Amino acid sequence: MVAAPHERSISPLDASAKRLLGDRRLILAANRGPVSFSALADGTLRPRRGSGGVVTALSQVSGHVPLTWVASAMSEADRRAARSPAALDHAMPHEAVRLRFASVPRSVFEGAYNVIANPLLWFLQHELWNLPERPMVGASTMRAWREGYVALNRAFAAAVLTEVPRRDRSPRIMLHDYHLYLAAEPIRRARPDAILSHFTHIPWPSSSTWQVMPPAIREEICAGLLANDVAGFQTRRYAHNFLRSVESFLPDAHVDYHTRAVLRRGRTTLVRSYPISIDVAATQRIAGSRAARRRAQELLGQARERIVVRVDRLEPSKNIIRGFAAFETLMERYPSLRGSTTFLAFLVPSRTSIREYRNYGRKVQDAADRINARFARAGQQVVRIFYENDYAQALAGLTIADVVLVNPLIDGMNLVAKEAAVVNQRDGVLVLSETAGAYDQMADGVLPVAPVDLIGTAAAMASLRAGVEHEDITWWLRRQLDDLAEIAEGRLSG
Amino acid sequence: MVAAPHERSISPLDASAKRLLGDRRLILAANRGPVSFSALADGTLRPRRGSGGVVTALSQVSGHVPLTWVASAMSEADRRAARSPAALDHAMPHEAVRLRFASVPRSVFEGAYNVIANPLLWFLQHELWNLPERPMVGASTMRAWREGYVALNRAFAAAVLTEVPRRDRSPRIMLHDYHLYLAAEPIRRARPDAILSHFTHIPWPSSSTWQVMPPAIREEICAGLLANDVAGFQTRRYAHNFLRSVESFLPDAHVDYHTRAVLRRGRTTLVRSYPISIDVAATQRIAGSRAARRRAQELLGQARERIVVRVDRLEPSKNIIRGFAAFETLMERYPSLRGSTTFLAFLVPSRTSIREYRNYGRKVQDAADRINARFARAGQQVVRIFYENDYAQALAGLTIADVVLVNPLIDGMNLVAKEAAVVNQRDGVLVLSETAGAYDQMADGVLPVAPVDLIGTAAAMASLRAGVEHEDITWWLRRQLDDLAEIAEGRLSG
């Protein structure tokens, strides 16, 4: 017998989930799943936990709501698994998650993922193009758009629709990130009653950045997002930029900046910000584990008294080269720090198949070598790079930092800033780019820097600790569930 | 005896000038002057007419108002001339312009011009940085800012103040472009009664672009512009972007988006758009000259039936490589055009001392070579580059074009678009980037393209003619004079 809600203690998030879903499952679609597959020598499929910030964040959802997660089949092994629902169910026996794959031929996925989503949309939205030369959007790119990206989004819609029980009234569907801008429209056509939301995890730049792109692409993306009931972004600025984009590119849309809503073709889409966060308890648990504490002691033993730490995927938006150059400026200007300071850089390998990333990695190493050549004493490096994916070690680094440097050129949110704030044990300073999404929430507790400003960044490397405990990952999820529930109840509209 | 105003026919511009100035001279400050100097072998100074779009535009002003023009002494010969007002007066005996130089030591000018204004501000405002690597704003850049740019602006202010008659009440002073963002403040301190305006000839990007820059630079620039009574920009979008920048960077400023005014420290600055234009009659006169008509006939004789024309300074913001790539796409997709079409590219050498410009020039030539290798027939090039500064020839090209391609990545205004519209003789089509300032005025009469969209640009290369006759250069000037006169009369305020 189930107890009546008021008789047991439930968390605000659980209450939000219950209110939105009732007896339904939440259907969530994102490019990466909680599990991916590889094929062993004998042909059997082996599941492996997914990694990456979005997966980590979305995996929290399954602790609070029954979930069907539709992901891309990204490899041949995934495509094989997609044909065997039993293998999928078997892969995650211990969780409240049902995994399903949207599966398209490899060439379609390549066009969607390796021509459009990552090299084009991700770079554009991070404003990282060297515009006089790249991108060239010609026939092959437009083919990848139509036959890759559009096709993959349709496949996602079809996979989602398969998972919607026919008798479910108003199925609740959440779509995620820049891979899936066009998935809502075909879902909406088939199920006009769906409660649909999309959340963009990366920045949404100003409309003038989108303006360089072919009209078909920018218009279809904006129109695609407007098939949702809610279009969510990391910050108010990104949400505002989206409203401006819609106004610029879709003449038949009516944009209301006051209510942050768009009316188009008889439908209203709310445009909202839901700053994403971390699982504070889990982060602190890992940082406080015996292994992490031992690693922290080892790092302390190998470093000097003052420690600067950064943790990033090794990629151009993270602004790692200028971070080192600013540290070099610090060494130049404060000779007293030279013998007493170590910079520990925990850099996670990322998209090493992309030439820009490899070139960038080489220049990062060159910058570290240059500083070590100038300032190393008695053979002890002043800049130490840890180039590996070791989350516990990176958290260990954050616990012992006097300064945590988070200086991206642009970043949708940046969870390292939030992790640093909850695990640091040394009253460390958080030096944070004003251009990171996290800055909007954390401005009061950090030292702000402008990303190209070496002197300002050097100067900011000096004591503080912020508190993000109450705006954590459940807060991010709960606010979205509540907005969707109100829509479902007909109470919240533009 | 002077006739009363109503007894003689005066143009609207002359009336505006009279209303603003009364018996005063207009004092105009801009980096380049109407004349620069070179030293002959015997040491005598030879004056030479200045060139460039801003000089050409501002030179029109002298036809309508008595003018004192303060310019940078850019060379050693200019600095010598600066010490000899007689030489300056002698250099321009036939004009109603009095020329004076703001003269600073060469090292100061180098820092202001070749470290800050052109490589930093111009690139930033055109959003042409390859941001993961450039710019690095470190100690040497900040020194060039303080000891170069700030110092040059103070020197300009001092030179302007020297030209203001002590008895003049409310002297009328117009400052121009990105070299002089900080000149108004010291002028205002010395002459609180001055009627001061600044006009930015290049784009003003969104505040998120400025956000990457050191706070000192972005704040001082915004504050510097607010020492003017009017801050003018080419388009409403740029004016809006400036208002947002002020709101982001100057917490003590109150921004009113409705009246487009900023109140700060008791002063109001109006923020306005004044789209710049051309001297229609002069342009048509040159295009209709015997020399230009003969040159047009020669060009026709060397080209095939259909002619595509572009006219640009050879630099990265003009998007010349993609223009050629789009033409290549046109040749691929319309085989019938291959034997019948010629692309005439009139490219004017620009800042060849800057490495990025030289590299870009090489790639432009490579693209032309590639297309000629593919599509030339019987040794006749399909793409012909004219790499020289020959204005009459470029206008001749515009008269005979079937298509004029103006596809910049970003452009403050772009006067080629307007020149094409008034000189073309073949009912040619104007293909125009949506990201050019001129697009805001000319949208109805052109084929719009997105700058990275090769297929769209190729498709747009197909007939039209716009009318810009009434919004010409006198209209640009007159509207500013009128706003300033109203301020002087105390009638126009935020």
Backbone angles phi, psi at A203, to 5 degrees: -65, 155
Do residues B225 and B181 lie in contact, with contact meaning Cβ atoms separated by under 8 Å? yes
Q: What local confidence, expressed as pLDDT, does residue B468 receive?
A: 38
Q: Looking at beta carbons, which residues of chain A come within 8 Å of B319?
A: 132
Q: Looking at the partner chain, which of B135, B316, B455 has a beta carbon nearest the beta carbon of A142?
A: B455
For A336-357, the pLDDT digits (tens) are 888 889 999 999 999 888 888 9
For A171-191, the pLDDT digits (tens) are 999 999 999 999 999 999 999
Alpha helix ranges (H) inside B303-354 = 320-333, 335-338
Q: Which of residues 294-333 of A touch B (CB under 8 A)?
A: 316-317, 319, 321-322, 325, 329, 332
Backbone angles phi, psi at A345, to 5 degrees: -110, 110
Higher pLDDT: B287 or B476? It is B287
Alpha helix ranges (H) inside A62-203 = 76-82, 85-91, 106-110, 123-125, 139-143, 151-163, 184-190
For B262-286, the pLDDT digits (tens) are 999 999 999 999 999 888 888 999 9
**Residue A133: half-sphere exposure toward Cβ, Cα within 13 Å:** 12
Beta strands B383-387 and B341-348 are parallel
Q: Looking at the partner chain, which of B132, B213, B435 has a beta carbon nearest the beta carbon of A453?
A: B213
Q: What is the DSSP letter of B3?
A: P
Beta-carbon separation of A131 and B128 below 8 A: yes
CA distance A475 to A440: 16
What's the one-letter identity of residue A356?
A: E
CA distance A454 to A443: 20
Q: Looking at beta carbons, which residues of chain B come within 8 Å of A136?
A: 322, 325, 452, 454
Q: What local confidence, expressed as pLDDT, does residue B13 receive?
A: 82
Whether A468 shows a pLDDT value over 60: the answer reads no
Give kind and range of the element (H or E) at residue A197. Answer: strand A195-199
> Would an 8 Å CB–CB cutoff place A434 in contact with chain B?
yes
Q: Looking at the partner chain, which of A142, A212, A453 has a beta carbon nearest the beta carbon of B435?
A: A212
A217's tokens: 């692409």
Comparing CA positions, the residue from A51, A62, A29 lying closest to residue A199 is A29
Beta-carbon separation of B452 and A212 below 8 A: yes
When pLDDT is averaged across residues B191-217 and rounded to a whole number, the result is 95
C-alpha distances (whole Å) from B363 to each of A132, A133, B127, B384 are 11, 9, 20, 15
> Would an 8 Å CB–CB cutoff place B15 in contact with chain A?
no
Q: Looking at beta carbons, which residues of chain B come within 8 Å of A431?
A: none
In the numeric block, the tokens 């000629």 are attached to B372
- Give the number of A-B residue pairs with CB atoms closer than 8 Å: 115
When pLDDT is averaged across residues B104-113 and rounded to a whole number, the result is 96
DSSP notation for A208-244? HHHTTS-HHHHHHHHHHHTTSSEEEESSHHHHHHHHH
Higher pLDDT: A112 or B87? It is A112
Q: Looking at beta carbons, which residues of chain B come within 8 Å of A215?
A: 450, 453, 456
Of the candidate ranges B193-207, B352-366, B420-434, B474-488, the one whose mean pLDDT is the lowest: B474-488
What's the one-letter identity of residue A24?
A: R
Do residues A86 and A74 lie in contact, with contact meaning Cβ atoms separated by under 8 Å? no
Q: What local confidence, expressed as pLDDT, does residue A260 receive?
A: 96
Whether A154 shows a pLDDT value over 90: the answer reads yes
To the nearest whole angstrom, how far is the Cα of B241 from the nearest Cα of chain A?
11
Q: What local confidence, expressed as pLDDT, does residue B63 receive?
A: 78
Q: Looking at the partner chain, which of B130, B435, B452 has a beta carbon nearest the beta carbon of A135?
A: B452
Whether B1 shows a pLDDT value over 50: the answer reads no
CA distance A379 to A382: 9
- Dihedral of the alpha carbons of B431, B433, B437, B438, in degrees to the nearest 10: 10
For A220-275, the pLDDT digits (tens) are 999 999 999 999 999 999 999 999 999 999 999 999 999 999 999 999 999 999 99
> Would an 8 Å CB–CB cutoff place B190 in contact with chain A?
no
Q: What local confidence, expressed as pLDDT, does residue A476 receive?
A: 64
Q: What local confidence, expressed as pLDDT, does residue A156 receive?
A: 98
Beta-carbon separation of B450 and A214 below 8 A: yes
pTM: 0.90
Q: What is the DSSP letter of B204?
A: -
For B379-395, the pLDDT digits (tens) are 789 999 999 999 999 99
What's the one-letter identity of residue B466?
A: A
To the nearest whole angstrom, how far is the Cα of B438 from the nearest Cα of chain A?
15
Whether B211 shows a pLDDT value over 50: the answer reads yes
Q: Looking at the partner chain, which of B128, B137, B451 has a beta carbon nearest the beta carbon of A453?
A: B137
DSSP notation for B468-479? -TTS-HHHHHHH
To the nearest whole angstrom, how far is the Cα of A250 from the nearest Cα of chain B?
15
Q: What local confidence, expressed as pLDDT, does residue B492 receive?
A: 57
Q: Looking at beta carbons, which residues of chain B come within 8 Å of A407?
A: none
Q: What local confidence, expressed as pLDDT, does residue B9 receive?
A: 57
C-alpha distances (whole Å) from A166 to each of A158, A440, B245 are 14, 42, 51
A476's tokens: 């991010």
Higher pLDDT: A330 or A478? It is A330
Give kind and range of the element (H or E) at residue B160. Answer: helix B151-163
For A211-231, the pLDDT digits (tens) are 999 999 999 999 999 999 999
When pLDDT is averaged across residues B230-247 and rounded to a whole number, the result is 96
Q: Which of residues 87-116 of A touch B (CB under 8 A)?
A: none
When pLDDT is averaged across residues B310-338 and rounded to a whole number, the result is 93
Neighbour order of strands in the sheet with A267-273:
A97-102, A67-72, A26-29, A172-176, A195-199, A230-233, A267-273, A261-264, A253-256
Long-range contacts of residues B162-171, Cβ cutoff 8 Å, at least 24 apart: B162/B100, B163/B27, B163/B68, B163/B70, B163/B98, B163/B100, B164/B27, B164/B191, B164/B194, B168/B24, B169/B193, B170/B194, B170/B195, B170/B488, B171/B24, B171/B27, B171/B195
Whether B6 shows a pLDDT value over 60: the answer reads no
Identify the band that residue A445 occupies on the pLDDT scale cut at 50, 70 and 90: confident
CA distance B218 to B207: 10
Q: Which residue of A has its CA nearest to B210?
A: A450
Crossing angle between the packed helical segments A280-287 and A415-423, to the nearest 10 degrees: 60
Q: Looking at the partner chain, which of A128, A208, A455 has a beta carbon nearest the beta carbon of B132?
A: A128
Q: Looking at the partner chain, which of A127, A206, A325 has a beta carbon nearest the beta carbon of B136?
A: A325
Q: Which residue of B has its CA nearest to A244?
A: B237
For A47-58, the pLDDT digits (tens) are 988 777 778 778
Q: Looking at the partner chain, which of B133, B316, B456 has a beta carbon nearest the beta carbon of A214?
A: B456
Q: Which of residues 453-482 of A touch B (CB under 8 A)?
A: 453-456
B125's tokens: 């405002």
Beta-carbon separation of B317 and A132 below 8 A: yes
Residues in chain A, overall count: 494
